[in-house]
Amino acid sequence: MPVKVLDFWASPFGVRVRVALAEKGVSYESQEEDLFGGKSDLLLQSNPIYEKVPVLLHDDKPVLESSNIVYYIDETWPSPKLLPASSYDRSRARFWTDFIDKKVYDAGRNIWMGKGAEVEAAKDEFIDVLKKLEGALGNREYYGGDQFGFLDIIFVSLSCWFPTYEKYGGFKVEEETPKIAAWLKKCYKRETVAKSMPDSQKVIEFVGMMRKMHGIE
Amino acid sequence: MATSGVKLYGGRPSPYVNRVVMALEMKSVDYELVEMNPYEKSELLIKINPIHKKIPVLVHGDRPICESLIIVQYIDDAWTNGPSILPTDPYDRATARFWAAFIDDNFFPLLREMREAEEEAKRLVFEKVLEAFALLEEAFITISKGKAFFGGDTVGYLDIALGSFVGYLRLSEMLNANYKILDETKTPLLAEWAERLYSDSLVKDAMLDPQKLLESLTKFQAMPKTDSN
Residues A93-105 as b/e (b if ≥16 CB within 10 A, e otherwise) read bbbbbbbbbebbe
pLDDT at B224 over 70: no
To the nearest whole angstrom, how far is the Cα of B118 from the nearest Cα of chain A? 27
Q: Is 0.90 topped by the overall pTM?
A: yes
pLDDT at B228 over 90: no
CB contact under 8 A, A87 and B74: yes
B70 → closest Cβ in A68, A72, A91:
A91
B98 → closest Cβ in A65, A75, A94:
A65
What pLDDT does residue B223 have?
59
What pLDDT does residue B229 have?
55
What pLDDT does residue A169 have?
96
A87 contacts in chain B (CB < 8 Å): 1, 74, 77-78
Q: 10 Å Cβ neighbour count for A142?
A: 18
Q: Which residues contact residue B34 at a Cβ distance below 8 angstroms, ignoring those fewer than 6 apart?
A: B7, B8, B9, B10
Confidence of residue B41 (pLDDT cuts 50, 70, 90): confident
Mean pLDDT of all residues in B95-114: 95
Confidence of residue B182 (pLDDT cuts 50, 70, 90): very high
B182/B196 Cα distance (integer angstroms): 13
Confidence of residue A6 (pLDDT cuts 50, 70, 90): very high
**Contact (CB, 8 A) for B172 and B110:** no
What pLDDT does residue A37 have?
85
Confidence of residue B215 (pLDDT cuts 50, 70, 90): confident
pLDDT at A92 over 50: yes
**Tens-place pLDDT, residues A177-217:** 999 999 999 999 999 999 999 999 999 999 999 999 988 87
Query: Chain B residue with minimal CA distance to A58?
Result: B91
Lowest mean pLDDT among A89-103, B43-57, B146-160: B43-57
pLDDT at B34 over 70: yes
Cβ of residue B54 closer than 8 Å to a chain A Cβ: no
Question: Which of A95, A102, A131 has the highest number of chain B CBs within 10 A, making it the mutation to test binding with B?
Answer: A95
Q: Give CA B216 to chain center in angstroms.
A: 17
Q: Which residues contact residue B43 at a Cβ distance below 8 angstroms, ignoring those fewer than 6 apart?
A: none
**Tens-place pLDDT, residues A117-142:** 999 999 999 999 999 999 999 999 99
Average pLDDT of chain B?
A: 92
Task: Region of B87 please: left (phi>0), alpha (psi -120 to 50) or beta.
Answer: beta
Average pLDDT of chain A?
A: 96
What pLDDT does residue B1 have?
46
Mean pLDDT of all residues in A28-33: 98
CB contact under 8 A, B70 and A94: yes
Helix axes A87-113, A66-76, angle to 10 degrees: 150
B94 contacts in chain A (CB < 8 Å): 63-64, 68-69, 71-72
